[in-house]
Chain A
Amino acid sequence: MDISSIAFANSLILGLSIASIFFVAALGLTVIYGTAGVINMAHGEFIMLGAYTVYALQAFAGIPYFLCIPVAFVVVGAIGFAIEKSLIRYLYDRPLDTLLATWGVSLVLIQGTRLIFGSEPKYVEIPQFLSSNIEIGGLSLGVFRIFIIVMALLLAAGVWFVFYKTDFGIKIRAVTQNREIAASFGINSGQVYSFTFALGAGLAGVAGALFGALNIVLPTMGMGYVVEAFLTVVTGGGALLGSAIASLAIGELQSIFALVTNSTFAQFLIFVLIVVFLRFRPQGLISASGKRR
């Protein structure tokens, strides 16, 4: 193996890691956007809340990291549920206003967090074995990044199970296809939307628990994820498989472009490619409900 092919293989592995991060960030959004068509601009702040939940649990209660992840899911899911019940459910027929209102929510969440925890960065502690590096024949990757890839697969399997193997999943898919018909068959569509929103928020909380350990925890950390997560979901078309393919493609392409040019320019190329792609295929890779949003 010569140097350049090692570099290429390394960038493919890094691309897989980027893809898993995009996928985890976009998963909650996929659930919310794919089901209710809600453009939730506060998604990045749900991720941020997940990270702060883990930080708070560790700092004030000394709870081990692995236990914090499910708690982050529950806490952020509950916050999402409350926001849906008090605000989002009044706006389902006004998609542009949902987008604006959730931007207001994100302002409030960022500022509220800043008032409670301060603006200085916080750190999430992870078990010793997760913070090492694995090297095989010139290829290297942090164990924590592998952990995120594994979590991405687990979460995807979990969401797939909920959507396709449970009663609740059948209801979600029915409401997604046609809200009125589903309601006339006795499905409480308002309730389904509330719980779907809570599920999406909870998944964002898990993403926050992971990203908080990957980077520093700041009130504004969510801003960096929301545009990318949105582009992933919209490119994918709102379905679970679509988001998986889109994040894999975006992650690998970004990593390969970065090898050829540099990482900022790679990001620029990705943005341009996505805009061009969506111009010609606005419904995304795999359209969840058949109708164009």
Chain B
Amino acid sequence: MTQNLYHNKTLQWLFYLFAFGVIGAVPLISDDAFLLNQLAVYGVYGMLAVSISLCWGSGGILNMGQAIAFGLGAYCMAMTMQMQTQAEGTIPPFMLNNGLDALPWIWEPFRDTTTGIMLAVLVPTVFYLIFGGIMFTARVSGPFFAILTLATLSAFGTIFVDLQPYTNGVNGISPPGSLNLGETEIDPYSSGAYWFVFGLLVLCTVGAKLINQSRFGLVVRALKDDPERVRFLGYNVAIYETLVYTLSGLIAAIAGCSFAVLTQYVSPAQFDVGFSISIVIWAALGGRNSLIWAMFGAFTVQGAQSYVGDQFLNTWILILGFSFILVVRFLPGGFAGLVEAVLGRVARSDSQTDAASVDFSKAKEAAK
């Protein structure tokens, strides 16, 4: 029986193995510290795209405020790194400039590195749990939810600018040293940091894929197609929506932590609305329904942006905008949808007898 190869689970895992094998091997080929750091930052963007693919592609929840978890995670991590470089009894210099003479209580937990890192992951995740819980029990969904995440993101951006004594306002926090885990220092310009981020990326992507293939993932994908029907079948839709939203927030929080470690700098730009929506663009171009293709979308867009050069940057954004419009209009599945369609056509020409089943799966696609 000929099946669309795109839907073959063994091949999907082999593809993962191949793709991550290539990505993980980069430091063996190149030891350019700047390049490794840049590629590791792309890995962070990849994680963000994966997180959007999980909640939007699988759960149908368009979250335009994913930078909330990213920014919160990055800030908590930067605060931890800042406190590591701070001698006992001293406070960060920018606080002195803003008229503080003692460490604010909100900074206290970040004195301890373990607590700080735990907070960097937990704060955004718990916020997503509460925010999602409140919204989804009120059955807020669709474009409406997208707008509310956008409003919340703007609120965060504003408050981080406003709380200048605690966050250094628009200047952001730039910890003078890199992160130390116990005795080991994570130099952001090393193959160690690259593999560290790479490991997290693999963990997030594979974890998200396992979630998608589980029973839980099945219900989540069902409620994307018809939440009312899932509700009538006896499932508590709000719980599923909240959980998948929170899991995607967890991935974005991990991405935020890695970002702070790699760049040693955070600012309210991490809460920027444009940046937050560009995460959605990466996932949409790559293919919102496929985790790994969403990740490729992030690599392609950000990679191209860096390498087209400054004089073509303006034209590039124009091209990006147009291609985004075209993808949304004609190719809602992104590159992944294109691959799926091509492989489906190959399978069909192989065996005409199975044409009916392929048509059925295409009809399901069309119904989305």
List residues of chain A with CB under 8 Å of any chain B CB.
Answer: 39, 87, 90-91, 94-101, 103-108, 110-112, 114-115, 223, 227, 230-231, 234, 262, 264-265, 267-268, 271-272, 274-275, 278-280, 282, 293
Q: Residues of B contacting A99 with CB < 8 Å? A: 62, 143, 146
A271–B317 CB distance below 8 A: no
Within 8 Å of chain A (Cβ to Cβ): is B206? no
Residue of B nearest to A283 (CB): B144
In the bound complex, what is the Cα–Cα distance between A103 and B321 (angstroms)? Answer: 8
**Across the interface, which residues of B come within 8 angstroms of A106, CB to CB?**
321
Cα(A231)–Cα(B155), bound, Å: 12
Find the B residue at minimum CB distance from A106: B321
Which residue of A87, A91, A278 contacts B148 across the interface (Cβ within 8 Å)?
A278
Subset of 28 A-B contacts with CB under 8 Å: A39-B143, A87-B325, A90-B329, A91-B328, A95-B142, A95-B143, A96-B143, A97-B329, A100-B324, A101-B324, A101-B329, A103-B324, A104-B321, A104-B328, A105-B321, A106-B321, A108-B322, A115-B315, A231-B151, A262-B162, A265-B162, A272-B155, A274-B151, A275-B148, A279-B140, A282-B140, A282-B144, A293-B142
**Interface members, chain B 115-138 (any A CB < 8 Å):** 134-135, 138
CB of A104 within 8 A of CB of B314, answer no
Please tell me if the beta carbons of B138 and A279 are within 8 angstroms of each other in the complex. Answer: yes
Q: Given A96-B142, A278-B148, A293-B144, 13 other A-B contacts at CB below 8 A? A: A95-B142, A107-B318, A112-B318, A114-B314, A227-B150, A234-B144, A264-B161, A264-B162, A278-B144, A279-B134, A282-B139, A282-B144, A293-B142
- List residues of chain A with CB within 8 A of the CB of B158: 264-265, 267-268, 271
Expressed in whole angstroms, the Cα–Cα distance for A111 and B274 within the complex equals 14
Q: With A96-B62, A108-B318, A293-B144 in contact, is A271–B151 under 8 Å at CB?
A: yes
Min distance, Cβ B152 to any Cβ of chain A, angstroms:
6
B148-167 near A? 1/0 per residue, CB < 8 Å: 10111011001101100000
Q: Which residues of A contact B322 (CB under 8 A)?
A: 104, 108
Closest to B159 in A: A268
Residue of B nearest to A227 (CB): B154
Question: Chain B residues near A262 (CB, 8 Å)?
Answer: 162
Question: From residue A218, how far is it (CB to closest CB) to chain B in Å?
Answer: 14
B280 at the interface (CB under 8 A from A): yes
With both beta carbons as reference points, the residue of chain A lying nearest to B161 in the complex is identified as A264
Residues on B lying within 8 angstroms of A by beta carbon are 62, 134-135, 138-140, 142-144, 146-148, 150-152, 154-155, 158-159, 161-162, 273-274, 277, 280-281, 284, 314-315, 317-318, 320-322, 324-325, 328-329, 332
A104 to B317, CA, bound (A): 10
Interface of B is mostly: helix
Q: Are A107 and B321 in contact (CB under 8 A)?
A: yes
Q: Would you give the shortest CB distance from B317 to chain A, in whole angstroms? A: 5
How many angstroms between the C-alpha atoms of A97 and B332 in the bound complex?
A: 8
Nearest-CB distance from B60 to chain A (Å)?
A: 8
CB distance from B132 to the nearest CB of A (A): 12
Docked CA distance A107–B281 (Å): 11
Interface core residue of B280, B281, B329 (most chain A CB under 10 Å):
B329
Given the interface pairs A39-B143, A111-B317, A282-B144, the reply to whether A104 lies near B325 with Cβ below 8 Å is yes
CB-CB < 8 A to A282: which residues of B? Answer: 138-140, 144
When distances are taken between beta carbons in the complex, the residues of chain A under 8 Å from B317 are: 107, 110-111
> Given A279-B134, A279-B135, A91–B314 Cβ distance below 8 Å?
no
B154–chain A nearest beta-carbon distance, Å: 5
Distance in angstroms between the alpha carbons of A293 and B329 in the assembled complex: 22
Contact A271 B155 (CB under 8 A): yes
Closest to B323 in A: A104
Q: How far is the CB of A114 from chain B (nearest CB, A)?
A: 6
Q: A104-B328, A111-B317, A111-B318 are in contact. Are A293 and B162 (CB under 8 A)?
A: no
A27 smallest CB distance to B (angstroms): 18
Hey, which chain B residues are within 8 Å of A95, CB to CB? 142-143
Contacts A114-B314, A223-B273; is A271 near B152 (CB within 8 Å)? yes
Q: Given A39-B147, A100-B284: A280 and B328 within 8 A (CB)?
A: no
Complex Cα spacing A39 to B161, Å: 28
* A-side contacts of B321, CB under 8 Å: 104-108, 111
